[in-house]
Amino acid sequence: MPRIAYVNGRYVAHRDAQVHVEDRGYQFADGVYEVCEVARGHIMDMTGHLDRLGRSLRELSIDWPLNRAALQIIMGEVVRRNHVRNGLVYLQVTRGVAPRDHVFPGPGVRPALVVTAKRTDPALATKRAEAGLSVITVPENRWERVDIKTVGLLPNVLARQKAKLAGAQEAWFVDPDGTVKEGAATNAWIVTKDGVLVTRPAESGILRGITRTTLFAVAKSLGLTIEERGFSVDEAKAAREAFITAATTVVMPVVSIDGEPVANGHPGSVALSLRAAFFDVAEKRPA
């Protein structure tokens, strides 16, 4: 059992080592890490690992939590304090602690840094190497399982941030064939010229939003028809209306897509009636 961990500037007992509940690593997988081997008291390939850490940080626009030299010292210190001669040293940097919001927090939020170390048994590893090991194959699906409401939200975070930088509030993920999947944290809808609501089937590559599901009943209460099918970005731009749904937004009209107005560029009446009727139809439990 490792005894000491480094957490945001302090060496603490491993059993008491904690990060905040609103750490973005915990909430969005918005962080990066490295694992270095420790062999005979030496940290192996430190340069390569720190180079890759630098690249990972840069790609995600996360600042270095400390400079390289300081990180090297801390890694060495954690290895030494845990008396690890052979083992692993683990380093994780997240974008830091901020109230939950997909978009990046402001510059006041510093990256969070955790370093831990643990021992491994070289004799056991040698024995394993002598026996060899088996592998299985799995389909490459890192990460297609967007139907699961997992906290692995880094692509969603990056999409939202991109939207913010473009002066928008949401980003729609689009398949290579041009069909819209869903938003970074919302489901996507359009209203056709005939007043039919269209949304992608929840069976194919989206999260089955609870708001989306409730909207079926809301639409029914207003006498509106829903068609579950894919729609393209072009169809959305030419639609009578577009809107998004989520617990955070309920029904929110979309007035522009990639800088082009949807219809007359104003919130549509169907979306606004759905929004108004939502509270009446959705399940209500006193808090």
Determine if 209 is a binding residue for ligand PDD (CB under 6 A).
yes
Residues numbered 246-285 forming contacts with ligand PDD, rule: CB under 6 A: 246-248
Report the residue from 66, 210, 233, 282 that binds ligand PDD according to the rule CB under 6 A.
210
H-run or E-run covering 11: strand 10-13
> Residue 284 Cβ, how far from ligand PDD at the closest point, in Å?
16
Q: Is residue 27 near ligand PDD by the rule CB under 6 A?
A: no
Between residues 129 and 287, which has the closer beta carbon with respect to ligand PDD?
287
In degrees and rounded to multiples of 5, residue 143 shows phi and psi of -140, 105
What are φ and ψ of residue 136, in 5° steps?
-115, 165
Shortest distance (Å) from residue 187 CB to ligand PDD:
5
Stretch binding ligand PDD (CB under 6 A), from 19-27, 161-169, 244-252, 256-264? 244-252
Token pair of 56 as six digits:
């990972």
Q: Identify whether 220 is a catalytic site residue.
A: no
- Sketch the per residue contact string, 132 through 161, with ligand PDD: x for CB under 6 A, - otherwise: ------------------------x-----
Q: What is the smallest separation between the CB atom of 91 and ligand PDD, expressed in angstroms?
A: 28
Secondary structure (DSSP) of 217-252: HHHHHTT--EEE---BHHHHHTSSEEEEEETTTEEE
Minimum CB separation of residue 221 from ligand PDD in Å reads: 18
**Residue 30: closest CA among 173, 153, 163:** 153
Which residues is 23 bridged to in the sheet?
A: 97
Which member of 118, 127, 149, 237 is catalytic?
Answer: 149
187 contacts ligand PDD (rule: CB under 6 A): yes
Sign of the dihedral through C-alpha 137, 139, 145, 147: negative
Judged by CB under 6 A, the residue of 82, 116, 179, 186 near ligand PDD is: 186
> What is the SS3 assignment for 97?
strand
Report d(CA 77, CA 49) in Å as an integer.
17
Rounded CA separation 91/49 (Å) = 10
In angstroms, give the least distance from the CB of 184 to ligand PDD: 6
Rank residues 201 and 261 by Cβ distance to ligand PDD and give the closer one.
201
Cβ-Cβ contacts under 8 Å for 229 (sequence gap 6 or more): 198, 200, 201
Binding residues with ligand PDD: total (CB under 6 A): 14
- Range in contact with ligand PDD (rule: CB under 6 A) among 49-57, 78-86, 135-143, 210-218: 210-218
The torsion angle over the Cα atoms of residues 78, 80, 86 and 91, rounded to 10 degrees, is: 10
The least CB distance from residue 21 to ligand PDD, in Å, is 15
> Which residues bind to ligand PDD, rule: CB under 6 A?
156, 182, 185-187, 207, 209-212, 245-248
Active site residues: 149
